[in-house]
Amino acid sequence: MKRIALFMYYLFAQNLPSSFIPGGRLFNSIRVGTLRLVFPLGKKCKIQRKVYFGSGREVSVGNNCQINENVSLVNVKIGNFVMIAPGVTILGRMHNHENKNVPMVLQGQKETKQGIIENDVWIGTNAIIMPSVKISEGCIIAAGAVVTKDCESYGVYAGVPAKRIKSR
């Protein structure tokens, strides 16, 4: 059943119009309903068009979350009241690259811990969150930031690599 639901999501539901247009609440309900058959998804979530989800066992989303267009989520647990702007990528895996005598593409992937996005987090447009990173409660991640390390609660992070620039 999960495979069929995921197939229906990628074939049909992810391509429905945004929830911002007239009738958009219906399109969001179809997307969310289809995704709930695959993985844990909280109440009152808005999932916009063209969001890529890793397999169901490695992605979960809390209540009252907003996930915008062209977002990629892999191996991440998302808390409640999280806003993810368009174009955000949350990576869940890394390639092995230690053996110089074997092409990297043939070395497989490293096992990584699940990334964690805690409650009340805002991730700006086109930010990249590297695997195994924890973004603590109340953080803001600036547009275009590349987060390579865990973030402390209520910090505002920006840059490449992202650094704490102030507190909320």
Give the model's pLDDT for residue 20.
Answer: 87
- For residue 97, indicate whether it is catalytic: no
Of the listed 25, 44, 95, 168, which one is catalytic?
Answer: 95
The pTM assigned to this predicted structure is 0.92
Question: pLDDT tens digits for 68-121?
Answer: 999 999 999 999 999 999 999 999 888 889 899 999 999 988 878 899 999 999
Question: pLDDT tens digits for 12-39?
Answer: 999 999 988 888 999 999 999 999 999 8
The answer to whether the Cα torsion of 20, 26, 27, 32 is positive or negative is: positive
Q: What is the chain written as a DSSP string?
A: -HHHHHHHHHHTGGGSPPTTSTTHHHHHHHHHHHHHTTS-B-SS-EE-SS-EE--GGGEEE-SS-EE-TT-EE-SEEE-SS-EE-TT-EE---EE----TTS-GGGS-EE--PPEEE-SS-EE-TT-EE-TT-EE-TT-EE-TT-EE-S-B-TTEEEETTTTEEEEE-
In the chain, % of residues over pLDDT 90: 82
The residue among 129, 132, 133 whose CA lies nearest residue 110 is: 132
